[in-house]
Amino acid sequence: MSEGTWTEWQSRMAGDSDEDLALVFAHVRPDDEPAAREACAREPTTRAFCDLALRLLHRNTIEYVGSEPTNWETSLLSIADGEVLERYAAEIVDDPGQVAALIAERWQDIWQAPQDFIHDVLAYLFRLGPYLRRIRLVHLTLIDLMKTGLTFGPFVRRAVDMETKSILADPLAALQTSVQATFPTHPQIRTYVRRLEGSPLQLWARLYAVVFPAYGLELQPDTSWFDVADIYTTVADGQILQARSHDSPARLTSGEVVLSAVILGMMPSLFQIGSQDLETLPLLRLPDDSLDWLKRHKWEEDEDR
């Protein structure tokens, strides 16, 4: 499946407006002074080369366009080539000025070796900005959904459907999953994955701490919101991986999406429910201005854990 135009692709790759790529691109112009290296890391052309490489990697591995599938090691090496990227830019970039900047000589001026470029591309792929932006957008949509007054069971099903569609439509998530699965013990990838799990997990925990009490649900003793986030995220990751292979989420014989059934089925072990009927459990109060944390660009250390 095509991932749209070059402009759409760059929009998907974008992070927050205050994102500093000097903290991401650690291998540009290694012989320069720190200030010059930071300036190079922040140049639009440096970012554009990485956007271009990830678009080509997605094409060659997720989409399998134009050739037989190749292994990931070969695919990564194939994008670390200035001439390859120059030709691909001429093919897909619609801005003549940007095409003129994305040439092999400029690529070679920024990165001295293919491995340097691969390191920076992977750091760019696994950075937090785009991931957190997508989750915040889903969360804000969920808050709007709560305001419609859905009871708890239907709300969970709608929420699961929205999040599943969101992550399946995200090419970065597809690439991250594939790289993680291909290099599960690589120290650099492990570091990226741990970092990528931390802040989103905190965000999910905070959202649950707002959503579930709004339906009158209280945690079981010795259970934290991070426990809930850990459990549901682990289950969701497995279901998303399955859905990528089958083009749709797994369903029970009844037609219920497995992830929705698991979330609802685990509620009694995580929350003090008693004899309450989760399907008809009403919303007791609407979210208020305490949700300002959803719009933050930075997260503190895990003081809530």
**Among candidate residues 192, 28, 201, the one with its CA nearest the CA of residue 113:** 28
- The verdict on 268 and 283 lying in the same domain is yes
CA distance 239 to 236: 5
| Residues 190 and 289 reside in one and the same domain | yes
At residue 219, the 3 state secondary structure works out as strand
Are the C-beta atoms of residues 193 and 126 closer than 8 Å to each other? yes
pLDDT tens per residue, range 261-291: 999 999 999 999 877 789 999 999 876 544 4
Quickly tell me which residue has 């804000």 as its tokens: 140
Are residues 180 and 70 located together in one domain of the fold? no
Give the confidence band of 298 by pLDDT, cuts at 50, 70, 90.
very low
pLDDT band at residue 140 using 50, 70 and 90 as cut-offs: confident
pLDDT, average across residues 91-114: 95
| Pair (60, 112) in one structural domain | yes
Do 163 and 48 fall within a single domain?
no
Q: In the numeric block, which tokens belong to residue 23?
A: 């903290």
pLDDT higher than 90, residue 189: no
pLDDT in tens, 219-241: 999 999 999 999 998 888 888 87
Q: What is the pLDDT of residue 303?
A: 43
pLDDT for residue 300: 43
User: Do residue 100 and residue 13 come from a single domain?
Assistant: yes
Q: What proportion of the chain, given as a percentage, has pLDDT over 70?
A: 89
**114 lies in some domain:** yes
pLDDT band at residue 301 under the 50/70/90 scheme: very low
pLDDT at residue 165 greater than cutoff 60: yes
Q: What CATH number does the domain containing 227 carry?
A: 1.10.357
Domain that holds residue 147: 128-295
pLDDT of 11 over the 50 cut: yes
What is the pLDDT of the chain when averaged over all its residues? Answer: 85
Q: Are residues 76 and 215 in the same domain?
A: no
Angle separating helix axes 128-146 and 152-168, nearest 10 degrees:
150
- Same-domain pairing of 90 and 59: yes
Q: How much of the chain exceeds pLDDT 90, in percent?
A: 46
Based on the structure, what is the number of domains in the chain?
A: 2
Decide which of 81, 109, 125 is a domain's last residue: 125
Decide if 301 is inside a domain: no
